[in-house]
Chain A
């Protein structure tokens, strides 16, 4: 039969993909029959869901509102809290002088109104010199008052009762005039920061690293090795198919199992955090973009690890040991990358590049995370514990500070994401090529 008579589908390409689908399907079915597959996938999902319970608990508890500026207190017991008296110009320490005596008389505010009454007003930062708003007026009333007027422009920007924000070494420095944005909503702030911190930590450590490395460790190391040790490889090798193809299609089988698994877990996590997370709508749709980034980082990193572990398995029957040693190194580098991404040595690990992808997507999703941290740290909260008092920044600020980082490469999140994705993809392809050439030269006993 000449090439002209041959049906179009019946070419070397069609034969190639028939073999590819055969090995792909075979690998998937082989996974399905193994208890270890289900154990690995099950334990992975279980651990993630247990961690998720802590998040749900954090989101359902309420942080007690604290009156940071003390203006809900009625110093003179005249029924009017200090904040209202200050605002309307009556004396806070004279019970005979209160807004009820004004003309027309003003009814007293309930004290709750003067708790969390001066929330953060800065939502984003641009080129402006002045931010913030003194919602409760406790800075504004001092303007023009003798003895107080000197202290209404502490940040010396020529504007009374505002906030000056500048950037220094990738951090925001908040310079406030007194009594501006000083009594924020602790609960809202805590939930927002913990929500963000959780998704970042959970995504980086739980998904990208733990799932990203344990699944390939248990599921990819034996892709070729188990067939070699089990003596079944010759069923596949003594066939008109090159070993390089066998290796590639086996890895495709791994991808066919793990990518959908990662996708399902990501979607479940995204739905839970989207519904439970703080916000005005019933669902935080904006976060989905970050979850997409976490998914991308997970599949890229996990496939790179899979290619490396599979190659280690081809090289030696104790390749698992090499894989574990490599895994320990990656683990230490991953943890370092999560908390201090600028550390140079982490550049030698793969995990770091996965973390940069997550950081990049997070920066695009929540451009104001660093600002939120700085604002939280600008508020001093007095805490009472066992009768002792200590001061701290707003609860939640430190959590978010620990997990939210700008991408350390160019600083532009999109470029950094692209660089990291390209790098991980290139490493995967290179490892496959190396694995293929090692497998080709491997004698099978």
Chain B
């Protein structure tokens, strides 16, 4: 068989996946580094749609992704991508795009060069790779800087180049490890739009973050990891409802906390009020939504001056705290 020295062949033949298997399947997967547990007995199957992987730093998100990317070998359990073990066989990667959390790029390459060179590893010819690279750079809105060196790119641009390189093979599964990290708000919005758009195109997307609000803006389907364990899995609303079973807190800063406390205690859904300082009031409730709805009226009725309203629950740590039983 003659090698294709002139690089004029047609489109590469795609590797054929097994039919009717989940895109991503982890079965009792554990991964530990010496004595440190990275991932602990995780079983999950993901097919289609955008899935948010939520967890604090060190919760095992990157371990999870590195296992999917074939960079790490599971200590226990089995991983299948399109029914194939990614550690032993690299063929599923023809249908996968992987964006690592690592921010290193080949700074000496231009964006189009970088994307096209890596596209050729999918088996495309030089010309095919260039066309594909041009398309994906356009998709992530970097067409005008395609011939600029990566070393001169901003953080948001670098993230987008990484995403572009992962999209070049038209992947069915896209894995994005902290794609919003270190980006300014504008870049965040652009990247979120790109991810949503890809989701709308019917791809399976797994995106990780340690910030709930970010994930909420991208998807409703989330997976929560904590200390290497799979903590919750499902719709973001379902998780919210689970959270509602736990008391929520609202913190108010006011000049008359005692007056305001009297008003709040009358509300049906409020079961407790504390006054940690002279100007501070904490309201405890099982129904955050209802209290939030009535909050303006209560404040108006009391005639107190409220300078700040804060929802201390609305961060990942406290949510994880509730889910793990208030530890």
Binding site for B on A (CB under 8 A): 1, 6-11, 13-19, 21-23, 25-26, 30, 33, 230-232, 234-243, 441, 443-445
With A23-B121, A232-B102: A17-B13 Cβ-Cβ less than 8 Å: no
Contacts of B2 in A (CB 8 A): 8-9, 13
Q: Is the CB of A17 within 8 A of B117?
A: no
List A contacts of B4 (CB < 8 A): 9-10, 13-14, 17-18
User: 8 Å CB contacts to A: which residues of B44-79?
Assistant: 66, 69-73
Interface residues of B in 83-98 (CB under 8 A from A): 90-94, 96, 98
Contact of B3 among A6, A17, A236, A445 (CB under 8 A): A17
Residues of A close to B71: CB separation below 8 A = 234, 237-238, 443-445
Q: Is the CB of A239 within 8 A of B1?
A: no
Q: Is B144 an interface residue (CB 8 A)?
A: no
The 5 closest A-B pairs by CB, nearest first: A14-B4, A22-B120, A15-B123, A231-B102, A240-B94
Q: Considering the chains assembled together, what is the distance between the CA atoms of A7 and B123 in angstroms?
A: 15
Return chain A residues, CB-CB under 8 Å to B11.
10
Q: How far is the CA of A23 from the CA of B105 in the complex (A)?
A: 16
Report the Cα distance A10→B123, complex, angstroms: 10
Could you give 16 example pairs across A and B, Cβ below 8 Å? A6-B10, A9-B4, A9-B8, A10-B12, A10-B13, A15-B123, A18-B125, A23-B121, A234-B98, A234-B102, A238-B71, A238-B100, A240-B15, A240-B91, A443-B73, A445-B72
Q: A48 to B70, alpha carbons, bound, how many Å?
A: 45
Q: Which of B9, B13, B108 contacts A9 (CB 8 A)?
A: B9
**B38 → A minimal CB distance (Å):** 10
Residues of A within 8 A of B73 (CB): 441, 443
Q: Is A6 touching B121 in the complex (CB atoms < 8 A)?
A: no
Name 18 extra pairs, CB < 8 A, besides A21-B7, A230-B104, A238-B100: A1-B13, A6-B13, A10-B9, A18-B123, A18-B124, A19-B123, A21-B120, A22-B117, A22-B120, A23-B121, A232-B106, A237-B70, A237-B90, A239-B122, A240-B91, A241-B93, A241-B121, A445-B72
Q: Which residues of A contact B92 (CB under 8 A)?
A: 240
B165 within 8 A of A: yes
Q: A18 contacts B7, CB within 8 Å?
A: yes
B163 to chain A, nearest CB (A): 13
Interface of B is mostly: loop
> Is B298 part of the contact surface with A, judged by Cβ < 8 Å?
no
| Interchain CB contact under 8 A, B93 and A238 | yes
A231–B5 CB distance below 8 A: no
CA distance A241 to B8 in the complex (A): 20
Whether the Cβ atoms of B10 and A239 lie closer than 8 Å is no
B316 CB-CB contact with A under 8 Å = no
Please state if A232 and B104 are interface contacts (CB–CB under 8 Å).
yes
Measured CB to CB, the residues of B under 8 A from A are 1-5, 7-13, 15, 66, 69-73, 90-94, 96, 98, 100, 102, 104-106, 108, 117-118, 120-125, 165
Task: Assess whether A239 is in contact with B121, with CB atoms less than 8 Å apart.
Answer: yes
Q: What separation, in Å, do the CA atoms of A243 and B117 have in the docked complex? A: 17
CB neighbours (8 Å) of B66 from chain A are 444-445
Q: How far is the CA of A445 from the CA of B12 in the complex (A)?
A: 30
Q: For B13, B66, B165, which residue has the most chain A Cβ atoms within 10 angstroms?
A: B13
Question: Shortest beta-carbon distance, B244 to chain A, in Å?
Answer: 39
A240 with B122: CB separation less than 8 A: yes
Q: Which residue of A lies closest to B1 (CB)?
A: A13
| Residue from A6, A33, A231, A240 within 8 A of B123 (CB atoms) | A240
On whether the beta carbons of B96 and A18 are closer than 8 Å, the reply is no
Contact, CB under 8 Å: B120 / A443: no
Contacts A14-B3, A15-B123 given: A26-B100 contact, CB under 8 Å? no
- Tell me whether B3 and A240 are in contact (CB under 8 A): no
Chain B's closest residue to A441 (CB) is: B73
Which B residue sits closest to A16, measured CB to CB? B3
Specify the chain B residue showing the minimal Cβ separation from A3: B13
Instruction: Tell me if A30 and B90 are in contact (CB < 8 A).
Output: no
Q: How far is the CA of A6 from the CA of B4 in the complex (A)?
A: 14
Which residues of the partner chain A approach B1 to less than 8 Å between Cβ atoms? 11, 13
Among B2, B105, B121, B165, which residue has the most Cβ atoms of chain A within 10 A?
B121
Q: Is the CB of B70 within 8 A of A235?
A: no
- Asked if residues A13 and B10 are in contact (CB atoms below 8 Å), the reply is no
Partner of A240, one of B5, B93, B100, B104: B93
CB pair B3 A239 closer than 8 Å: no
Cβ–Cβ < 8 Å partners of B3 in chain A: 13-14, 16-17
Check A19–B121 contact: CB distance below 8 A: yes
Q: Specify which chain A residues have a CB less than 8 angstroms from the CB of B98 in the assembled complex.
A: 234, 238
Among candidates B69, B94, B104, B117, residue contacting A26 with C-beta atoms closer than 8 Å:
B117
Give the Cβ gap from B296 to chain A, nearest Cβ, in Å: 50
**Which of A19, A26, A234, A243 has most B Cβ within 10 Å?**
A234
Docked complex Cα distance between A438 and B223 (Å): 34
- Chain A residues, Cβ within 8 Å of B122: 239-240
Q: How far is the CA of A8 from the CA of B4 in the complex (A)?
A: 9
B96/A238 in contact, CB under 8 A: yes
Query: Across the interface, which residues of B come within 8 angstroms of A231, CB to CB?
Result: 100, 102, 104
Rounded to whole angstroms, the CA-CA distance of A6 and B94 in the bound complex is 19
Among A11, A14, A441, the one with the most B-chain Cβ atoms within 10 Å of its Cβ is A14
Residue in B closest to A232 when the chains form the complex, CB atoms:
B104
* Contact pick for B72, options A10, A11, A26, A444, CB 8 Å: A444
Set of chain B residues within 8 Å of A30, measured between Cβ atoms: 106, 108
Q: Please, which residues of chain A bring their CB within 8 A of the CB of B165?
A: 235
> By the criterion CB–CB under 8 Å, are A235 and B72 in contact?
no
**In the bound complex, how far is the Cα of B9 from the Cα of A21, in angstroms?**
14
Residues of chain B with a CB closer than 8 A to A243's CB: 90
**Shortest distance in angstroms between A101's beta carbon and chain B's nearest beta carbon?**
86
Chain A residue contacts of B96, Cβ below 8 A: 238
CB distance from A117 to the nearest CB of B (A): 64
Closest chain A residue, CB of each to CB of B7:
A18
Contact partner, B118, options A8, A14, A25, A235, Cβ 8 Å: A235
Enumerate chain B residues within 8 angstroms of A21, measured Cβ to Cβ.
Answer: 7, 120
A241 to B92, CA, bound (A): 10
Decide: B105 and A239 in contact? CB cutoff 8 A.
Answer: no
Q: Are A236 and B121 in touch, CB under 8 angstroms?
A: yes
Contacts of B106 in A (CB 8 A): 30, 232, 235
Shortest distance from the beta carbon of A420 to any chain B beta carbon, whole Å: 31
Measured between beta carbons, the chain B residues less than 8 angstroms from A1 are 13
**Residue of A6, A17, A18, A25 most packed against chain B (CB within 10 A):** A18
The interface residues of chain B lying within 8 Å CB-to-CB of A17 are 3-5
A241 and B7 alpha carbons, distance in the complex (Å): 18
